[in-house]
């Protein structure tokens, strides 16, 4: 592809290894998320519909709620020891959790112990995925340059979505063909080991090594913003605002409509898994499109247009859901939410480079973890009550503020990168400008 012609052999190998590793990691992580509609019945006690909705929300959030601790841990490893170490450790953690869940007795066999163990495994998987995707994005950001940098980093998101597609494919195959669901988790454990071994070939990034060398020699970093960008509270808040968007979009697309499909269209757990598999294919193709577009169009322009159209769609969303009379119409609504999702892809290199090298991994991963932990709690638990009180119009209570904040965050980074002139802001490093649309 023309995108990668400017890269040398080592850079291309790193892109390939990190994409493969991220695919394997997210296959394991999303396996339970998309099989939760089935597995929650095996590992959680049976209750009334309202309590079941809260338990489902708890099971979903358990993957994300302790991610900030993982961000601090792997952020310290990434900024102190190196980027390479984190992506190897996290893949092995994922493999161990898959082995445990593949052999774990159900709630009917050992009671609440099964619930506690499966929740702990989900927490550990969430922690490991924390270091995985940020580690891969930071690594590629530091060894590549625009315009190839944007699609190279964006394809990490493509790899994670491909992992989700394959996880759903396996989940659908297992449930529809009557195979034992534990086979899927054994597959996940096996491929995680393969990913760990493959990543030992990576070398540490020169940018990180140079920053460490300066630090050890007690030489102050250059005051030139080109070498060490200085972050400020407003930039930090803009980063947070952009990262809050995707958790909301993901939950709405893959979780929110499950109850509607069950109650209004008599979908079984197996039917919902298959339905979500088709959605994940759309998800994958959408991310590929964003990655390719970022080679010729500035990433901030891409997500600004996407978010602006999303704001318009949100205004009609409750009405569209209320008049949907077939599962296909629900699918079309979910597809539009995916295409117009509030995702940060493909702007990650721009956001990551707004922090100094030796704080970059920690800062990015903490923001990533906090936004997902908070937003998944707000959306999964909040929508249980908001939709009880206001019906589908309760979606506005969360979606409208988050969309406006997302657009404000984009506007702030446009000023920093020079896309939107502002005398009060100095442009970020020219290396992150790329080609404007």
Instruction: Tell me the pLDDT tens digit for each residue of 72-107.
Output: 888 888 887 877 777 777 777 777 887 888 788 888
Structure letter (DSSP) for residue 428: P
What topology does CATH give the domain 2-432? Answer: Growth Hormone; Chain: A; (1.20.1250)
Confidence (pLDDT) at 437:
34
Confidence (pLDDT) at 215:
64
Q: What distance in Å separates the CA atoms of residue 390 and residue 388, rounded to the nearest whole number?
A: 6
Residues 312-318: contacts with CB under 8 Å, at least 24 apart: 313/337, 313/340, 314/395, 314/396, 314/399, 314/400, 314/403, 317/392, 317/395, 317/399, 318/391, 318/392, 318/393, 318/395, 318/396
Confidence (pLDDT) at 58:
63
Cβ 79 vs Cβ 360: under 8 Å:
yes
Q: What distance in Å separates the CA atoms of residue 239 and residue 389, rounded to the nearest whole number?
A: 32
Confidence (pLDDT) at 398:
92
Cβ 386 vs Cβ 394: under 8 Å:
yes
Report the candidate in 117, 82, 77, 86 with the shortest Cα–Cα distance to residue 22: 86
The pLDDT tens digits of the residues spanning 352-365 come to 988 888 888 888 88
The pLDDT tens digits of the residues spanning 3-31 come to 667 777 777 777 887 887 788 777 777 77
The pLDDT tens digits of the residues spanning 301-332 come to 999 999 999 999 999 999 999 999 999 999 99
Confidence of residue 53 (pLDDT cuts 50, 70, 90): low
How many CA atoms within 13 Å lie on the side-chain side of 303? Answer: 33
What residue spans define the domains of the chain?
Answer: 2-432
Q: What distance in Å separates the CA atoms of residue 435 and residue 293, rounded to the nearest whole number?
A: 11
Confidence of residue 225 (pLDDT cuts 50, 70, 90): very low
- Name the least confident of 118-127, 275-284, 416-425: 416-425
Cβ 409 vs Cβ 242: under 8 Å:
yes
Instruction: List Cβ neighbours of 148 (8 Å cut-off, separation of 6 or more).
Output: 3, 4, 5, 6, 7, 295
Rounded to an integer, the average pLDDT of 127-142 is: 80
């Amino acid at each position: 592809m023309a995108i990668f012609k400017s890269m040398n052999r080592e850079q291309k190998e790193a892109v390939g290894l990190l994409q493969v590793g991220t695919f394997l990691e997210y296959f394991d992580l999303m396996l339970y998320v998309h099989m939760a509609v089935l597995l929650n019945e095996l590992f959680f006690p049976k209750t009334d519909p309202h309590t079941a909705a809260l338990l489902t929300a708890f099971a979903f959030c358990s993957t994300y709620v302790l991610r900030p601790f993982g961000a601090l841990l792997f952020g310290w490893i990434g900024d102190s020891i190196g980027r390479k170490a984190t992506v190897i450790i996290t893949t092995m953690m994922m493999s161990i959790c898959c082995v445990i869940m593949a052999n774990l007795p159900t709630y009917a066999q050992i009671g609440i112990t099964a619930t506690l163990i499966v929740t702990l495994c989900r927490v550990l998987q969430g922690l490991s995925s924390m270091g995985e995707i940020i580690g891969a994005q930071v690594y590629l950001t530091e060894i590549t340059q625009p315009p190839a940098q944007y699609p190279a980093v964006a394809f990490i998101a493509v790899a994670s979505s491909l992992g989700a597609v394959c996880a759903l494919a396996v989940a659908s195959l297992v449930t529809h063909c009557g195979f034992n669901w534990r086979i899927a988790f054994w597959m996940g454990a096996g491929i995680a080991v393969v990913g760990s071994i493959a990543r030992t070939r990576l070398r540490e990034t020169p940018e990180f090594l140079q920053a460490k060398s300066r630090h050890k020699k007690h030489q102050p970093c250059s005051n030139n913003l080109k070498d060490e960008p200085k972050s400020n509270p407003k930039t930090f808040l803009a980063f947070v605002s952009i990262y809050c968007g995707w958790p909301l979009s993901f939950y709405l697309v893959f979780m929110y409509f499950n109850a509607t499909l069950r109650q209004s269209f008599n979908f079984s757990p197996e039917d919902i898994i298959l339905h979500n598999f088709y959605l994940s294919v759309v998800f994958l193709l959408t991310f590929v499109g964003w990655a390719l577009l970022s080679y010729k169009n500035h990433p901030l322009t891409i997500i600004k247009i996407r978010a602006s159209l999303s704001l318009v769609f949100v205004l009609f969303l409750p009405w569209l859901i209320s008049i949907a009379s077939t599962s296909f119409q629900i699918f079309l609504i979910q597809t539009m939410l995916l295409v117009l999702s509030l995702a940060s892809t493909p702007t990650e290199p721009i956001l990551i480079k707004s922090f100094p090298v030796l704080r970059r991994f920690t800062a990015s991963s903490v923001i990533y973890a906090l936004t997902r932990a908070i937003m998944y709690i707000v959306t999964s638990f909040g929508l249980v009550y908001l939709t009880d009180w206001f019906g589908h119009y309760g979606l506005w209570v969360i979606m409208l503020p988050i969309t406006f904040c997302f657009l404000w965050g984009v506007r702030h980074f446009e000023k920093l990168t020079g896309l939107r002139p502002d005398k009060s802001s100095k442009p970020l490093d020219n290396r992150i400008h790329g080609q404007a649309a």
